[in-house]
Amino acid sequence: VPGGQQSAALRLVRRPGSGSGQRQRLAKRQRRLSDEVVDEVRLYGDIHSYLVYHLDILVGTPGQTQSVIIDTGSSLAAFPCVSCGASCGTHIDPPFDPASSLVSL
């Protein structure tokens, strides 16, 4: 891999969750498609130098690419949005812009 970075595959299993009405509607739609959806995604990063792997996800409609760090100790994923401003530091992708999305939470 260029730049000495390593990559690995991560198997994601999406299962319907509980919570808000929007989550319940999403879970119901996912159940109609399949009881269990399995995806494989490419992990990026250099675990030896930076101690992290990250993956790219699409957020909103139309999708905006956001890189998130894989943290097996957390069920949360965070990425910057345009309201964060310069205080959020430097990131791989431009900040998420909810105004450019038809759907966002």
Write the pLDDT tens digit of every residue in 45-65.
777 777 888 888 888 888 888
Whole-prediction pTM = 0.52
Nearest 10 degrees: Cα torsion 64, 70, 71, 76: 20
Percent of the residues in the chain that have a pLDDT greater than 90, as a whole number: 0
pLDDT at 1: 42
**Phi/psi at 33 (5° precision):** -75, -40
What pLDDT, on the 0 to 100 scale, is given for residue 2? Answer: 46
- Look at residue 10 in the predicted model and tell me its pLDDT: 59
44, two tokens: 């990026």
